[in-house]
Amino acid sequence: MDAMQIITIIMRILGGMGTFLIGMKLLSENMMRLAHGKLKSMLNKTAENRFANVGIGAAVTVLGQSSAFTTVMVVGLVNAGIMTLFQATAVIMGANIGTTLNAWVIALGGSEITVFFFCLAAVGVFIDMFSKNEKVKSVGNVIAAFGLIFVGLKFMSGALTFEKNSEAFNTVSALLTKIKNPFLLLLIGVVITALVQSSTAVNAIILTMVSAGLVIGGGGNSALYIIIGSNIGTCVTALISSLGASSNAKRAAVIHFLFNFFGAIIFMIVLVSWTSFSDTVLAAIFPSEMTVFGKEGLGLPLQIAAFHTLFNCLNTLLFLPFVKVFVFVANHLVRDKKPEAAEEKEEELAIFKDLDERLLRSPSVALGYFYEETGKAFTFAMNILDDAFESFLKKDEGAKERILRKNAQLAGLNRVAVAYLVKLSSASLVFAEEKTVSSLHYTLNDIMRIGELADNVTKYTAHYVEDGLVFSEEFIEKLREMYGKIKSLYDLSLQTFLDRDLVRLAEVDELEDEIDRERKELISTHIERLNEGKCQPQNSNVFINLVGNLERAADHINFIAHSIEQK
């Protein structure tokens, strides 16, 4: 076989692999888009149920078509504090089960029926081109993705299909049969998967080789060693993604590695001791000459797919009762760092903490997390306004420095949040999610304005004290009543925002109108008292501006509630 033939085979394999991976990526993005960020609500309901979390891990991996995708997302969720380490362990185990579906699809990819799946690529593209509905377009992309996956598999298998006893077949077979050491084959699986960062891609190569009749290693269990290695190699993606993350996120990645590592040890001991395992057990269920959908010789790839499923399912059954042991070991392997942050920054760090870029792989999950963090920033800004208002009533000038410091923290949070939103905008979002991202930019601005208005209140406090102003008890009481309504408006608006409850907006508007009337009434009463000589003229500037600023804060609170309309 000359060099040109070898280059042609390699190029065709790479071309098929590229088509296959594009199809997998397209399928992953659109399946998760259709799921539309329901993961967190499921996790909240299954906090302590390890079996349910295994199911979630399997389901998300089937949707995402990648265990690496799921485990990286789990690292992100743990890092963001959305998922506990206990949950993460069970979800990771489930992810390993979910990814086994890919091997079966790939194994059947060589059957004659796959020819009919090729047209799905065109059907899906046409649906995407001619539909205006976002969900329908996503369904079209899913259909197209399935088509691309089978086109890629067929292209790869075609590149490795040679005539038996031809020079090309004998040359490739001779190269593959030279490596017989089980541990070297295991290492090859680890290294290639770590480089490609996809165990599915490695499985696809192995399965297409076997489908073409090529013998890996010395036959028997040889291909299985590579499959075991690919399960360890896929952990590298999560380990890399955990760098720079929180201690718990690192622990989640370590647990993923430990699960596959210990499972690999157990299966390697079994296979090395039982050299005829593949011929005795797997071949008995899926004979080598087995015909499926009109294609002969699919028994061997189906044996590998079955082993991949057996490996992950048995490991999960074996290790699931020891979830807490995995957590315990991970806690001791990854120690918590000593906190260095000052107490002043604790409140700041609790908001938009670890806006994790890993979550961007699942934009719906990232957006849901960001939305809740925005609610916390809203509360932080309102606390600043509370502090400023109470300091006015107490004539506490010392609050000015405190308010300035908190507003600087709020500005820092805003910069981090806006930068993350820009990255989120670049992710694969449906139209409704794009509108949500756009509205969140305005919401963050409204939150900043509340903090700025609190700063204005401290200036009026300074005038109140330095100019020796005197306000009647009646005025102070009216002011408290007005601010009480602003607090009620905040409570209602926050709940409306978090629940995205359009029905409550009418109630929000009604309360905001009451505050507006209260402002007009207070100013009108003040002017009357001023004309009657019952109020000091020098009070006017502070009085009118203070009431006006509080009413403007209510406007911004109202705007935050209305951001859910996304017009």
Residue 158 domain flag: no
CB 186 within 8 A of CB 260: no
Backbone phi, psi, residue 384, to 5°:
-65, -45
Residue 446 has pLDDT above 90, yes or no: yes
Contact (Cβ atoms closer than 8 angstroms) between residue 557 and residue 489: yes
Residue with the larger pLDDT of the pair 490 and 141: 490
Greater confidence, 536 or 335? 335
When divided into structural domains, the chain yields a total of 2
Tell me the pTM: 0.61
CA-wise closest residue to 73 among 496, 382, 484, 368? 368
Same domain, 328 and 375: no
Residue 236 has a CB neighbour count (10 Å cut-off) of 18
Greater pLDDT, 384 or 426: 384
pLDDT tens for residues 87-99? 888 888 888 888 8
Q: Are 364 and 35 in contact (CB under 8 A)?
A: yes
233 with 171, same domain? yes
Q: Per-residue confidence at 291, pLDDT binned at 50, 70, 90?
A: low
Same domain? For 283 and 196 the reply is yes
Distance CA 181, CA 35 (A): 44
Which residue, of 302, 333, 364, is where some domain finishes? 333
Distance CA 564, CA 298 (A): 54
Pick the last residue of a domain from 333, 362, 377: 333
Is 473 part of any domain? yes
In a domain, 30, yes or no: no
Task: Give a yes or no: residue 10 inside a domain.
Answer: no
* Distance separating alpha carbons of residues 384 and 350, to the nearest angstrom: 15
Same domain, 179 and 276: yes
Rounded CA separation 378/444 (Å):
8
Q: Which of 301-305, 435-439, 473-477 has the lowest mean pLDDT?
A: 473-477
Mean pLDDT of the chain: 78
Q: What is the pLDDT of residue 348?
A: 43
Residue 180 lies in a domain: yes
- Report the C-alpha gap between 53 and 49 in whole angstroms: 6
Per the model's pLDDT, the better-predicted residue between 427 and 125 turns out to be 125
* Residue range of the domain that includes 302: 42-110+164-333
CA distance 216 to 185: 9
pLDDT tens by residue, 181-240: 889 889 988 888 887 767 777 777 777 777 767 777 767 788 899 889 988 988 887 777
CA–CA separation, 406 and 440 (whole Å): 21
Domain shared by 281 and 381, yes or no: no
Residues 328 and 355 in one domain: no
Last residue of a domain, one of 308, 333, 358: 333
**315-340: b (≥16 Cβ within 10 Å) or e:** bbeebbeebeebbeebeeebeeeeee
**Residue 554 region by backbone torsions, left for phi larger than 0, else alpha for psi between -120 and 50, else beta:** alpha
Residues 467, 538: contact at Cβ < 8 Å? Answer: yes
Whether residue 8 is contained in a domain is answered as no
**Least confident segment among 102-106, 202-206, 348-352, 385-389:** 348-352
The share of the chain scoring above pLDDT 90, in percent, equals 17
| Residue 220 DSSP SS3 | coil
419 and 290 co-located in one domain: no
Structural tokens at position 245: 């993350």
Q: Are residues 324 and 380 in the same domain?
A: no
- The answer to whether residue 285 sits within a structural domain is yes
Which residues in 528-565 are b (16+ Cβ under 10 Å) and which e?
ebeeeeebeeebeebbeebbebbbbbbbbbbbbbbbbe
371 and 271 inside one domain: no
Do 328 and 350 reside in the same domain of the chain? no
Q: Is residue 121 part of a domain?
A: no
Q: Are residues 219 and 86 in the same domain?
A: yes
Three-state SS string across 267-326, please? HHHHHHHCCCHHHHHHHHHCCCCCCECCECCCHHHHHHHHHHHHHHHHHHHHHHHHHHHH
328 with 361, same domain? no
Q: Which residue has the higher pLDDT, 279 or 27?
A: 279
Q: Which CATH number goes with the domain that contains 524?
A: 1.20.58.220
pLDDT digits (tens, 9 = 90+) for 138-187: 788 778 877 776 677 666 655 555 444 455 555 655 655 677 888 988 99
The predicted model gives 296-307 an average pLDDT of 80
- The closest alpha carbon to 302, from 288, 312, 313, 315, belongs to 288
pLDDT band for 292, please (50, 70, 90 cuts): low
